[in-house]
Structure 1
């Protein structure tokens, strides 16, 4: 009885961490699109996100340097920090927030499940694969509509797809290597900043003068503290407790929140492809995680 109670409490704790990560990820989508619309260029968004975080957490980075300056941690940081963020921000430069809200979390469970199967040996039930298949139909509908109606969005959509691939690899490696969420967060900040900052200051253009101070401050706070520090710790804890596949599936709940909020905030259009994608992703999430609703 005690063991069962402990297991239930642990699972509940995992879902609380997952819900927090879902809410922060929703905000990340909206804040990132707002930055792109305010003419904050991709290199500037990257520098604001990781440069601010590096300055804030530099005392902890130094204190834990023996744990985070490890080749595996550098790999995690390069993939889950530099590669993922660059691809995602690239997507927000060219595609609406509703597309990011559907493609980023919608594709993640697919990428994570496939990569977890091949790289981590995780086995998924037919029910889980069925849910992934339903979500895939919605994503395919959205990409098809984009290709046929407005190819200018396709460039951004491709960025979102590539970002999902990188995040899937990061999630599977995180579960395999079992670094603590705190060390993972510090490692991602360190690796990304040390790799990107020299290139940014030497070779890339800056456009801060075109953006309001309040927007830069908002981006610095949310991207560096909420989307990196809080979200990474919550995401990492949820992955360790619930597993990579379950966490990836739960992230598919983000589209409902982000897409509903993006329409009034940014005046984005509601299209048949968006509605189809949203319905399929939500239905796929329910089907793939039916066991969660029976508890």
Structure 2
């Protein structure tokens, strides 16, 4: 009974993560194409997250020491590299491309990274599920080759961001880190490295942007996406398993693409629709398979 309750809690947390992630794609694309730029979004995301996460870590956790190489590695792949690739991509490619190539590619990226780093094989129905998802990625890729170089560059950056997140997820599975310490490490280490570079060398529109846009991005990026989402992601992955979390995240593309239609005025073309069906179909197939074999890939 307790195990079933724990699994239910894990899937509820995963559902909240999916909702935040879907909104993150649309909010990020909006921010990167309006008054702010991608560099501003990274600064707001991790600057605010550091201020929020440290008190959370101090009062709500056992205050695990995060000043070690493992948490630094988690910060590099789950923070710095991921953010630079993702937010630069948001300034170049549409949100529906991000929906397919960022969370849509994550099941493939995470499974590959878990295989390479931990040695967990990809086989059977799980391999077929990832193949279906990959088909959607390839279909979108063939269409992207015919559009502008700017969009192609953005798409490549989204894939790089997904691979970085894949390494992060594999390290979570390998090291079993404290969730609160992980959130603080990702936020604080990224802030300490990135902010000096941002202030001294990178272009910024923070001074000219409307206060409403700054507050929107600070709240969504710095609190919801960087702290709440990451904390729930780590806890959910420890509860339902990293592989199950990976395929659950593939539900984000459809939700994000649908939100982008009324909010950003983007269109869902035939290629986008087919790609979304592939990544979502692969996610459903893989998740059903994962439920039957959860004992093989749980990380707790």
Q: TM-score, normalised by structure 1?
A: 0.93
CA shift, 1:244, in A, is 1.4
Match of 1:90, SS?
Answer: helix
- The change in CA–CA distance for 1:180 and 1:219 in structure 2 (over 3 A counts) is same
Match of 1:205, SS?
Answer: coil
Structure 1 equivalent of residue 67 of structure 2: 69
Matched, 1:26 2:22: yes
Structure 1 equivalent of residue 32 of structure 2: 36
CA shift, 1:66, in A, is 6.3
- The change in CA–CA distance for 1:163 and 1:209 in structure 2 (over 3 A counts) is same
Structure 1 equivalent of residue 182 of structure 2: 184
Structure 2 equivalent of residue 237 of structure 1: 235
Check conservation: 1:51, 1:193, Cα contact below 8 A.
yes
Match of 2:102, SS?
Answer: helix
Q: Work out the number of aligned pairs and report it.
A: 291
Q: Where do 5+ consecutive residues of structure 1 fail to align? A: none
Check conservation: 1:61, 1:190, Cα contact below 8 A.
no
Structure 2 equivalent of residue 205 of structure 1: 203
Q: Which has the higher helix share?
A: 1
Match of 1:206, SS?
Answer: coil
Q: Where do 5+ consecutive residues of structure 2 fail to align? A: 294-300
Indicate the larger mover: 265-274 or 93-102: 265-274
Structure 1 equivalent of residue 296 of structure 2: none
Identify which of 155, 160, 163 aligns with 1:162: 160
Identify which of 37, 42, 46 aligns with 2:42: 46
Identify which of 255, 258, 261 aligns with 2:259: 261
Check conservation: 1:106, 1:281, Cα contact below 8 A.
yes
Q: TM-score, normalised by structure 2?
A: 0.92
CA shift, 1:271, in A, is 1.5
Q: For the residues of structure 1 that align with 2:157 and 2:194, how far apart are their CA atoms?
A: 18
Structure 2 equivalent of residue 103 of structure 1: 101
Match of 2:119, SS?
Answer: coil
CA shift, 1:152, in A, is 2.9
Q: Deviations over 1:100-120 (max 9, x none)?
A: 111111110001111111212
